[in-house]
Amino acid sequence: MQLALMYGGRSVEHDWSIAMYNHFADVLNKAVHASISPAFIYYISRSGDLLRLALDGDRLPKHDEFTTRAETYSLTSLACILKNDSNFVFSLLQGQDGEDGQIQALAQFYDIPGSFGDKTAAMLSADKYLQGLIANRLCPELTPIPTIHVSQSDLDAGIAEALRHLTGPCVLKPNTLGGSFLTECLDNLSEEGLRSYSERIAAYDASFLVQQRIVGTEYTSGVLINRHEVTVLPVARINNPSGFLGYDQKTQKGSYTVEFHKIENSLQTRIFSMSTKIAREFRLHTFGRLDFIVDDQQRVYFFEVNAVPGLTAGSIFPKMLAKAGFDLCHVIGLAASNEIDQRRREEVRKIETSRIRYGPR
């Protein structure tokens, strides 16, 4: 299989995407999977330039070397270049452009094969408020987190509602940003604090969530999807001494640990069941990660689903894969297989739809 990797993007998670690419370069350069042959690399810079490199059988360079060898194009040529190169594209784009439905819609419209997945699923996974509503509706066994969605366009009403319905410690988070970027914890809500927070995130997000802080233990569940079959990877327990896993905690080495043992069987079974249901209904393409928190009464709360979870050497999802006996090459092959199956079904749909006629002939 001729493989292309795409990474970077205009997201706040740009640096993480670069780290993911560097890890993939290490893995694929050492891989013995003769069926996977990297052919192209595409990188979207923060400013929106498109860099492209044809490998011609060479090893995958690290990011710094890649930028010295690559050719630069306008981002408006992306669809044309991907179409002409005609390879399966494994996307490492995160956040804006990568997980919000934009690259998915482009790939679907121009019939570009890749790991992009469904545009509606991506748009949903980029909206924390909507995905929370749907996940709680899908799984009655979940306990909803008291949440107020505050829009920048109707700030006064949103702040008033938050102050009316929520008290005590709360978590503030942008609605569409990933990586816990600009997520904060407040001991008490105040109008001044909410307005100040709104100002800090205004340049990044059109809305934010105010959620009651849930004290408990965080768990994360990885999934692999093979056509319509969902396999739940070993559930990981996150040990976080601070009790709050924000951006600083995620980026500081040693601030938290992950373990796959000491998880009660009944709790693991519940998380397996809910993860399967959510992953299937959210139409994840090949893989994903779902985050939960469990309080001392064993009530399970849903945090979010990640359509493109972290895939660096130190990320949780690769650890889940290894625990289950898989690796990143397996994920690439599975994504390609799923894409072939999806394209066959899409071709049938297009043919059948084209036969429908409305109005006079």
What does the pLDDT read at residue 254?
67
Residues 207 and 219 in one domain: no
What does the pLDDT read at residue 240?
79
CA-to-CA dists, residue 312 to 29, 66, 220, 319, angstroms: 15, 18, 16, 10
Tokens of 156: 């006064």
Which residue range(s) make up the domain with 207?
A: 146-212
- Kindly calculate the radius of gyration of the chain based on its CA atoms and give it in whole angstroms: 21
What does the pLDDT read at residue 247?
67
Task: Indicate the average pLDDT of the chain.
Answer: 91
Mark which of 286, 306, 326 sits at the end of a domain. 306
Angle at Cα 329 formed by Cα 230 and Cα 127, nearest 5°?
50
Please report whether residue 351 resides in a domain. Answer: no
Q: Which CATH number is 179's domain given?
A: 3.30.1490.20
Mark which of 212, 227, 243 sits at the end of a domain. 212
**Burial annotation 235-255 (CB, 10 A radius, 16+ → b, else e):** bbbbebeeebbbeebbeeeee
Q: Which CATH number is 92's domain given?
A: 3.40.50.20
Residues 41 and 89 in one domain: yes
Residues 71 and 163 in one domain: no
DSSP string, 12-79: TTHHHHHHHHHHHHHHHHH---TT-EEEEEEEE-TTSEEEEEE-TTPPPPPHHHHHHH-EEEEGGGHH
Instruction: Name the helix (H) or strand (E) containing 274.
Output: helix 265-281
How far is it, in rounded angstroms, from Cα 191 to Cα 195?
A: 6
Please report whether residue 340 resides in a domain. Answer: no
Nearest Cα residue to 233 out of 264, 293, 279: 279
Please report whether residue 359 resides in a domain. Answer: no
Q: What is the pLDDT of residues 85-131, one digit of tens each?
A: 999 999 999 988 898 999 999 998 999 999 999 898 898 889 999 99
What does the pLDDT read at residue 260?
87
End-to-end CA distance of the chain: 44
Q: Are the CB atoms for 170 and 212 separated by under 8 Å?
A: yes
How far is it, in rounded angstroms, from Cα 334 to Cα 224?
A: 9
Q: Is the backbone of residue 117 left (phi > 0), alpha (psi -120 to 50) or beta?
A: left
Could you tell me the sign of the dihedral formed by the alpha carbons of 94, 96, 101, 107, in that order?
negative
Helix (H, G, I), strand (E, B) or coil at 174: strand
Please report whether residue 319 resides in a domain. Answer: no
What does the pLDDT read at residue 227?
87
Residues 113 and 176 in one domain: no
What does the pLDDT read at residue 34?
66
Residue 226 bridge partners (DSSP): 229
What does the pLDDT read at residue 162?
97
pLDDT values of the chain reduced to their tens digit, one per residue, 361 residues: 899 999 999 998 999 999 999 999 999 999 876 688 999 999 999 999 999 999 988 899 999 999 999 999 999 999 999 999 999 999 999 988 898 999 999 998 999 999 999 898 898 889 999 999 999 999 999 999 999 999 999 999 999 999 999 999 999 999 998 888 999 999 999 999 999 999 999 999 999 999 999 999 999 999 999 988 999 999 999 987 777 766 666 666 767 888 887 778 889 899 999 999 999 999 999 999 999 999 999 999 999 999 999 999 889 999 999 999 999 999 999 999 998 887 777 776 767 777 776 666 6
Residues 96 and 14 in one domain: yes
CA-to-CA dists, residue 259 to 219, 220, 233, angstroms: 10, 10, 13
Residues 190 and 219 in one domain: no
Residues 6 and 45 in one domain: yes
Please report whether residue 332 resides in a domain. Answer: no
Residues 104 and 33 in one domain: yes
pTM listed for this prediction: 0.90
In this structure, which amino acid lies at residue 313? A
What does the pLDDT read at residue 299?
96
What does the pLDDT read at residue 57?
83
Residues 226 and 207 in one domain: no
Q: Which CATH number is 280's domain given?
A: 3.30.470.20
Please report whether residue 63 resides in a domain. Answer: yes
Please report whether residue 192 resides in a domain. Answer: yes
Residues 219 and 208 in one domain: no
Residues 152 and 53 in one domain: no
Residues 233 and 185 in one domain: no
What does the pLDDT read at residue 361?
60
Please report whether residue 176 resides in a domain. Answer: yes
Tokens of 126: 């980029």
Mark which of 183, 212, 241 sits at the end of a domain. 212
Number of domains in the chain: 3
Residue 304 bridge partners (DSSP): 291
Q: Pairing between strand 2-8 and 37-44?
A: parallel
